Amino acid sequence: MRRRTAGMIAPLVVLALLGGGCGDDAAQQPATGPASATAAFPVTVGGLTLAKRPERIVALSPTATEMLFAVGAGAQVTAVDDNSNYPPEAPKTDLSGFKPNAEAVAAKNPDLVVISNDLNKIVDQLATLKIPVYVAPAAVTLDDTYKQLAEIGKLTGHPQEADALVRRLKDDVGKLVQQVPQRMARLTYYYELGPELYSVTSKTFIGSLFTLAGLENIADPADPDGAKGGYPQLSAEAIIKANPDLVFLADTKCCKQSPATVKARKGWAGVDAVRGGHIVELDDDIASRWGPRVIDLLRTIVDAVAKVPA
């Protein structure tokens, strides 16, 4: 992943989530079983109708790729974008999800393209080429994740596998939420997208997971009306003053941040999260995607909360 600079981080925060983000093994690992025996075509999802099961699927976002493999459609995926790195067997290409090229996509001869954003008006371009497109935009809530998994399962001929996956994810989320220890006062946290100190508010998909874990977000006052899209840039002074109980780093891969680099920042050594050793290193990829591995992120959050003394 390329290093993010201060001038780029604001737009890239959103783009990373659009391209970007554990339960039992079945929820974490891609499904490998056969298509649902009862799957019938044609199928319709929204305004998209497929006459037959797609066998040459192109995915143009890492989350789309993860979802396709998770519902059991991995064998039907013939090409994925250059940022799709999970699962390892995904057929990675030089196709771009950030700057999609209709001709390059069409050259893969797809019978279904799954995208997360209509960049470059790729939907209209592919429609002109009579290539069907399913758009799975960045989730705002977990229900959005469940809905996309179910719809992708239906479109690819794996409705039963997708429904079973959604049930497992919901069950795992419920169990994790029940594990959150009860406290007299809510713990506070700072979530770092980059060393430029961009963060997320509780109104974002990521923030909603921390709310489930009973945490209070120190970034919320920086974007009270959502004018910054839920991704405000904080100042070091504001973070130090807020004195969060926990710090979560979603910039460990892109920007090489770690507990040591945070502790070395001027004035940060006295922050409760730093003094108590409650700086949590996240996997940038899992943290920026809203697919089935979101359960990994929630488990990491819950485990971190449990380690903070009452």
Look at residue 18 and tell me if it is in a domain: no
Residue 67 counted as domain residue = yes
Q: Which of 125, 140, 174 is the last residue of a domain?
A: 174
User: Quick one: 67 and 191 in the same domain?
Assistant: no
| Per-residue model confidence as pLDDT tens digits over 17-37 | 444 433 333 344 455 445 444
Kind plus residue range of the DSSP H or E element containing 48:
strand 48-50
Q: Which domain holds residue 271?
A: 184-306
296 and 195 within one domain: yes
Q: Which residues contact 182 (CB under 8 A, 6 or more apart)?
A: none
Token digits of residue 128: 């002109």
- Dihedral pair phi/psi, residue 228, rounded to 5°: -100, 15
Q: What is the mean pLDDT of the chain?
A: 90
pLDDT at 78: 98
Confidence band, pLDDT 50/70/90 cuts, at residue 310 = confident
Number of domains in the chain: 2
pLDDT digits (tens, 9 = 90+) for 5-15: 333 344 444 44
Instruction: List the CATH number of the domain containing 228.
Output: 3.40.50.1980
Which DSSP state fits 173?
H
CA-CA distances (angstroms) from residue 133 to 54, 173, 248, 254? 11, 30, 35, 30
Tell me what the mean pLDDT of segment 232-255 comes to.
98
